[in-house]
Amino acid sequence: MTESVPTKKSQKFDPVRAAALQAMILVEQGEQTDVAIDKVSKGKNFRSIDRRFMMQLANGATKLRRRLDHDLRFYLAKPSQGLPILLSNILRLGYYQLRFTDRIPDAAAVSESVNLARAMLDRPRANLVNAVLRASIREPDKVKFASKDKDPKKYLGDYYSYPDYFVDYCLREFGPEDSEKLLIAYNQPPHVTYRVNFLKTKPEEVIELLKSNDIKYAHGEYLPEFIHIEGGGLPLESELIETGKVFVQDESSGLAARLLNPKPGSNVIDLTAAPGGKSTYMAIRMRNKGRVTALDKSQKRLNLLVENTQRLGIKIIAPVVCDMLNFESSQFDRVLLDPPCTGWGTAGKHSDLRWAKTSEDIRNLSQIQKHLIDKAADFVKPGGVLVYSTCSIIRDENDQIVEEFLVRRDDFEVDSASEFFGDAIVNSRGFVKTYPVAGKLDGAFCARLRRKIHS
């Protein structure tokens, strides 16, 4: 199974659901969801409403893969027997529509799933799909779960659809009640946030445009130039995004740039910059005065950054293609390090993440992060500031990296984030931590570290 699913031309089926099915299979084979969706959409000429429906199905069924498999076992004659990837995903897609969408009639969910099985498999397996899905409608109470009190890890993992290692981490870090709230939050539909570009417009003007088009919004929790869009899609894309008046960026991602707090005229470096969300935000806060060196080892991703800077009207970003471990330079006033991480803070927006990342990834990435923060420190002038940030909520990638760094480097100290943000997101150590349970922010971490001036 690769990009396309074989079909029998004589059989009719819904091409939108078929595309969602193809995307689910590609993701299970290791593709990122957004890449898979782009691949299966190519040449289809879907209407925007069809593409949104396809994305809802592909993302939703991918997120809930463990829950879907758990439930479906109760309706299979041989639940312990593995199913072929195509058949298992047709069942997942059908069951997802029955249990986890509220606008698809049961009859349509079943019949369209049967049509897919007939077209892509054969009549016996289409009959199996029909029997399993109809049984799930007749006997919804047949599904059972582990005891929440006796085996919370299995209960939460099965019910909310997460890998055991992540549930186990949450239980240790947050306790059962807060863990459940977090797992629920990551299963909600992702939100979109616009960052207003001060070089081209003002928040009030963007808000007036949203109001005049009856688009609901909410103000940023901590950064006033961020506007949370209620509902799906990218409203007013041609008027706002394509003109560079706004940039799509989660508010949690902007916190690191605000914490670095570069001033107009500063000499700043973003060490892993592409595709440019933080670099462009810093440049805008600097009012296009000074210099932002945007370093990244990926030419392709840096090209995206250059496109973004041109659209936003930014003139002070200097892109450099280089691995930061090999980069040599004089020192900077401000240094931002946003290293590779598991991305567990963004699990609500990346449906494949929970299945793509492993506990081994955390261990491997934390070793990389240690090397990168040591290198980043050398770029900071005495009296200058280093901000370390991730889009993860895993302590091993965040607090632990910073605390161990401070033991190794006594020429750095924590510069508390409480000067910039309130207690709601700043812990007692002075680090910023956000979670999707509080407001419309992804999970994120950032720490502001100042290099001491030795007398």
Please list the active-site residues. Answer: 391
d(C-alpha 217, C-alpha 215), whole Å: 6
Closest by CA position to 222, among listed 440, 63, 449, 68: 440
Q: Parallel, antiparallel, or unpaired for β 192-196 and 226-229?
A: antiparallel
In sequence order, the β-bridge partners of residue 267 are 291
d(C-alpha 197, C-alpha 191), whole Å: 19
Identity of the amino acid at 303: N
Residues written for the chain: 455
DSSP string for residues in 399-430: HHHHHHHHHH-TTEEE--GGGTS-TTTB-TTS
Contact 342, 394 (CB under 8 A): yes
Residues 216, 221, 222, CA angle at the centre, nearest 5°?
A: 140
d(C-alpha 394, C-alpha 340), whole Å: 13
Cα–chain center distance at 209: 27
256-274 b/e with 16+ CB inside 10 Å = b? bbbbbbbeeebbbbbbbbb
C-alpha dist (Å) from residue 436 to 165, 179, 418 = 19, 12, 20
Identity of the amino acid at 251: E
d(C-alpha 171, C-alpha 160), whole Å: 14
Q: Parallel, antiparallel, or unpaired for β 246-248 and 267-270?
A: unpaired
Q: Parallel, antiparallel, or unpaired for β 332-337 and 380-390?
A: parallel
Q: Parallel, antiparallel, or unpaired for β 412-414 and 432-434?
A: unpaired
Residue 382 has phi, psi (to 5 degrees) of -55, 130
